[in-house]
Structure 1
């Protein structure tokens, strides 16, 4: 039997620290000239890379849904989510290994016809419903929880029936971008900041509370609040 075949079969999965997933075994890449130890991209491929170790080159495939991160340093995990590493237009990706709720084995995805303040996290093809921090919604274009103003098709239910007043206009008839702030329900620390008609839920730091008169966070001892630790 070919000695090269036996050698490759003996290769164990490569792991890194931190290690969210385990990479599959690599194989000897005989057509690549290493220029020192480290990771190298493969031309026109998004999710494969070459690991050069002591002048020997091994080609690896990132888990389904992840891309090779060319910025990864030696012994760092070399694969990242597409929101962190964009794929070059026209580059090849592996065939997705989809499950019932996950388009890929790994990734973050919007819930179809669901609450925008939630999203699906996929790991090894298993889906888990996650919630964005209060006041944020899931932005499927960049796969993160974002301000509602950046996701106009969605509005978090946390604002309930609150609508930002129409922003005033200046002497030239232009819409003012001044930020106006309003207390969030009965909350002392949380408030809604409106800019150009878009709401953002914000919170004062520890020891401070929102004062509507000054439109700022001040010492909580000087703020009268009916229910400081409850929401409407």
Structure 2
């Protein structure tokens, strides 16, 4: 019986120690000893254990401990505070808060706030890099399938085009404004400035962005949009 009491007291004492915190000052916000998404709030010298939203972590960079800030996990240097609350998931969200890649399309990512996902898509030719958390050229993102890089466009073989060297331009098969640039055999999708479309050059593998009226088949690409007004606005 005495042995049981000793063990119980030891376990109870450890639990209390983990859930108690002596405030260094009357007011402030202090990182938890082992958890990155928990922190201590001190008010009039009384400590209260707080937990960031699921997918957020406590930013402990304020040396004065006066800032209460939970930020995305990837923005916080947790150091030895390695513990986290278990993930709470919703469709497209690995946690309630955070930025997550799409499950199927490498150029799509989701910004989740309290479990509500907002869809974002990288510009043509780019894809979402899961490590850098930015849009990069699709051929530089390992998760992209071959058909997702420049929509599967294959550059001409070396020497196939005359007088283009390792650089060439090619029209998109469906969209007048888009085109592909091939550099050292790697295709990347580009888009002409708004108000212009891609015009195939006189030589294979060449072309430039021109006014739609000068490109046969693309004259009505912008429909009823006033292109002159757009140019005055700086587009």
Q: Say if 1:209 and 1:223, in contact at 8 Å, map to a contact too.
A: no
Q: Say if 1:102 and 1:125, in contact at 8 Å, map to a contact too.
A: yes
1:191 to 179, 183, 197: 179
Q: Does the C-alpha gap of structure 1 residues 218 and 98 become closer, same or farther in structure 2, counting only changes over 3 Å?
A: closer
Structure that is richer in helix per residue: 2
Aligned residue number for residue 171 of structure 1: none
Q: Say if 2:199 and 2:210, in contact at 8 Å, map to a contact too.
A: no
Aligned residue number for residue 52 of structure 2: 62
Aligned residue number for residue 141 of structure 1: 131
Q: Return the offset for 1:151.
A: 1.7
Calculate the TM-score normalised by the size of structure 1: 0.56
- Residue 203 in structure 1 maps to residue 180 in structure 2: no
1:81 to 68, 72, 76: 72
Instruction: Give 1:28-43 correspondences, 5 Å limit.
Output: 30-34=21-25, 41-43=31-33
Q: Return the offset for 1:67.
A: 2.2
Q: Return the offset for 1:143.
A: 4.5
Instruction: Give the number of equivalent residue pairs.
Output: 192
Gaps of 5+ in 2: 1-18, 160-164, 223-235
Q: Say if 1:192 and 1:202, in contact at 8 Å, map to a contact too.
A: yes
Q: Does the C-alpha gap of structure 1 residues 195 and 30 become closer, same or farther in structure 2, counting only changes over 3 Å?
A: same
Instruction: Give 1:3-18 correspondences, 5 Å limit.
Output: none
Q: Does the C-alpha gap of structure 1 residues 75 and 136 become closer, same or farther in structure 2, counting only changes over 3 Å?
A: farther
- Residue 132 in structure 1 maps to residue 112 in structure 2: no
1:154 to 144, 150, 167: 144
Calculate the TM-score normalised by the size of structure 2: 0.55
Q: Return the offset for 1:55.
A: 7.9
1:14-60 C-alpha deviation (Å, 9 max, x unpaired): xxxxxxxxxxxxxx9852435996x6544543223456778887653
- Residue 181 in structure 1 maps to residue 192 in structure 2: no
- Residue 46 in structure 1 maps to residue 28 in structure 2: no
Q: Say if 2:138 and 2:149, in contact at 8 Å, map to a contact too.
A: no
Q: Say if 1:117 and 1:132, in contact at 8 Å, map to a contact too.
A: yes
Q: Does the C-alpha gap of structure 1 residues 213 and 79 become closer, same or farther in structure 2, counting only changes over 3 Å?
A: farther
In our comparison, the structure showing a higher alpha carbon Rg is: 2
Q: Return the offset for 1:64.
A: 0.6
Q: Does the C-alpha gap of structure 1 residues 83 and 210 become closer, same or farther in structure 2, counting only changes over 3 Å?
A: farther
1:122-148 C-alpha deviation (Å, 9 max, x unpaired): 44345x473523433343334454431
State the SS of the aligned residue for 1:67: strand
Q: Return the offset for 1:63.
A: 0.4
Q: Say if 1:184 and 1:192, in contact at 8 Å, map to a contact too.
A: yes
| CA distance in structure 1 between the partners assigned to 2:185 and 2:68 by the alignment | 42
Aligned residue number for residue 105 of structure 1: 96
